[in-house]
Amino acid sequence: MKTLISCGIWGLCLTASVSLMVAGEKEGTAESASTQKLWKQIAPYFEPPSEFKGDLGNYKTPLKFYDGRPVKTP
């Protein structure tokens, strides 16, 4: 009897979770047009300015020790 009640509670929780997920998907589709517009608006800020594009600086590789030995996994 205790197992039957436990299964009923888990079933109820599962049903509620799935219902909330489906409801969230419907809300997300209504916002997708505004979300896409926003991403297009901020897209230029994800690329470096043209004067810095391709200029990675004069940095030493982190895959070598100071004495020049390559870093390896033991």
Q: What is the reported pLDDT for 48?
A: 92
> 53 Cβ partners below 8 Å, 6+ apart?
47
Structural domain that includes position 51 = 1-74
Total domains, the chain = 1
Per residue in 9-33, pLDDT (tens digit) is 777 777 777 777 766 555 556 678 8
Per residue in 59-72, pLDDT (tens digit) is 888 999 999 999 99
**51 pLDDT higher than 80:** yes
Collapse the DSSP code of 70 into the 3-class scheme (helix H, G, I; strand E, B; otherwise coil) and give the result. Answer: strand
- pTM tops 0.95: no
Distances 43 to 21, 32, 33, 56, 64 between C-alpha atoms, Å: 29, 16, 15, 21, 35
Cβ–Cβ under 8 Å, residues 36 and 28:
no
How many degrees, rounded to 5, is the angle at CA 51 between CA 47 and CA 58?
95
